[in-house]
């Protein structure tokens, strides 16, 4: 490992400044540098986030989508995909079961499915909150401010909306029917409405250089996010990006570790996409800076149809078996499952004066 890179890691660990070039070099560095990077991220995670791993029960309640993101298996033009919507009572029942299994957060995720009006979704949120003591996170894509407000008033606590890339140009290439600036503006709206806000990017997209990934890291840092979810891009065979390379586990882990060093307080999951590339992906993510896991509690008849990318693991596990599996993973890395909500670690002051309003795209 070069002395220069060792210094960059030490600076990052001490909370010092880092350049775009320094980050780009870390993302491409050799294996021994990567090990030093993971260890530094693990120490920072321990200092700021502690030993508890927060679990979020994921419910993929609809795979209908009006968008055509070029990388995604749920894109509207993917006609061979069999589509489903869970019924409101099924969603509430699954959320209550998650609460009974000890989960303190339920994530309601779907494609951009306008069949679900905000009133219908708000009623589901209200039902869940009245029947089980969980925090509710929404991951339903772009909606109007009024809709986001109605859902917040119904009791939704958090919202995930990935920016996917900090490059407006690359974003436009990948998203024929949406706009980077509008998406970014929504993050501000969500914050203003009092949601805990999560965003993130994909790693290894076609045309994404190490320098662009370094920009992504600095961009995510400057957003002051409560939660940051990142994962490798995995080509889906029935999409326009079928023939592309995709991101590697190595690159994704390096990115994750840099993210922890840059955003010591953020809640950062070892994502499902990491596990899709490597059966030990969750353990490796937890040892490179992650402090959150998102077990999939979608009923098994739907799970397989929610195929953003191929290789999704543990589709056969039911809610109880998954809870056991996750306990084993957390124990294996010497940590413990949190019994708390795992709310944001950012202070109200940080949230009230977010850089969200000041960061520029470049």
Q: Which residues contact 120 (CB under 8 A, 6 or more apart)?
A: 88
Summarize as ranges the residues that interact with ligand 5AD (CB under 6 A).
71-72, 162, 164, 202, 231, 233-234, 236, 273, 308-309
Nearer to ligand 5AD, 27 or 65 (CB): 65
The residue at minimum Cβ distance from ligand 5AD is 309
Encoded one letter per residue, x for contact with ligand SF4 by CB under 6 A and - for no contact, window 12-51 reads ----------------------------------------
Residue with tokens 């029935």: 238
Q: Which residues contact 116 (CB under 8 A, 6 or more apart)?
A: 62, 85, 110, 140
Q: Min. distance of Cβ 333 from ligand SF4 in angstroms?
A: 30
Give helix 88-100 / helix 319-332 axis angle, nearest 10°: 40
Q: Min. distance of Cβ 142 from ligand SF4 in angstroms?
A: 8
Q: What does R_g of the chain's alpha carbons equal in angstroms?
A: 19
Among 24, 27, 44, 74, binds ligand SF4 (CB under 6 A): 74
Write out the two tokens for 51: 């030993």
By CB under 6 A, the residues from 264 to 303 that bind ligand SF4 are none
Binding of residue 65 to ligand SF4 (CB under 6 A) = yes
Pairwise CA distance, residues 137 & 155, whole Å: 10
Q: Which does 162 bind (CB under 5 to 8 A by kind): ligand SF4, ligand 5AD, none?
A: ligand 5AD
By CB under 6 A, the residues from 99 to 138 that bind ligand SF4 are 111-112
Binding of residue 141 to ligand SF4 (CB under 6 A) = yes
Among 25, 54, 75, 184, binds ligand SF4 (CB under 6 A): 75
DSSP output for 304-329:
TT--SSS----TT--HHHHHHHHHHH
> Collapsing DSSP states into helix, strand and coil, what is residue 293?
strand
DSSP state of 266: S
């Amino acid at each position: 490992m070069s002395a220069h890179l060792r210094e960059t890691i030490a600076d990052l660990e001490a909370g010092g400044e880092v350049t775009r070039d320094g980050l780009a070099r870390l993302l491409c560095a050799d294996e021994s540098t990567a090990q030093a990077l993971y260890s530094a991220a693990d120490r920072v995670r321990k200092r700021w986030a502690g030993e508890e791993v927060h679990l979020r029960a994921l419910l993929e309640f609809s795979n209908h989508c009006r968008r055509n993101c070029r990388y995604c298996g749920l894109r509207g033009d993917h006609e061979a995909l069999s589509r489903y919507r869970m019924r409101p009572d099924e969603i509430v029942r699954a959320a209550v079961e998650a609460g009974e299994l000890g989960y303190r957060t339920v994530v309601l995720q779907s494609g951009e499915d306008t069949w679900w009006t905000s009133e219908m979704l708000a009623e589901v949120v209200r039902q869940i909150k009245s029947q089980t003591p969980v925090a509710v996170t929404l991951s339903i894509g772009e909606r109007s401010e009024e809709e986001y407000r109605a859902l917040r008033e119904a009791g939704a606590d958090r919202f995930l909306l990935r920016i996917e890339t900090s490059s407006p140009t690359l974003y436009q290439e990948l998203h024929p029917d949406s706009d980077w600036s509008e998406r970014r503006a929504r993050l501000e709206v969500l914050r203003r409405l009092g949601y805990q806000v999560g965003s993130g990017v994909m790693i290894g997209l076609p045309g994404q250089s190490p320098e662009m990934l370094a920009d992504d890291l600095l961009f995510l840092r400057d957003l002051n996010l409560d939660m940051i979810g990142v994962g490798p891009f995995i080509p889906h065979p029935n999409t326009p990006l079928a023939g592309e390379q995709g991101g590697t586990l190595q690159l994704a882990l390096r990115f994750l570790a840099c993210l922890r060093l840059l955003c010591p307080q953020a809640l950062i999951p070892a994502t499902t996409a990491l596990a899709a590339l490597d059966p030990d992906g969750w353990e490796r993510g937890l040892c490179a800076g992650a402090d959150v896991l998102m077990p999939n509690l979608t009923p098994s008849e739907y799970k397989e149809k929610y195929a953003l990318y191929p290789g999704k693991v543990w589709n056969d596990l039911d809610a109880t078996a998954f809870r056991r599996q996750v306990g084993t993973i957390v124990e294996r890395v010497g940590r413990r499952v949190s019994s708390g909500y795992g709310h944001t670690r950012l202070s109200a002051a940080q949230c009230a004066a977010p850089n969200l309003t000041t960061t520029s795209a470049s």
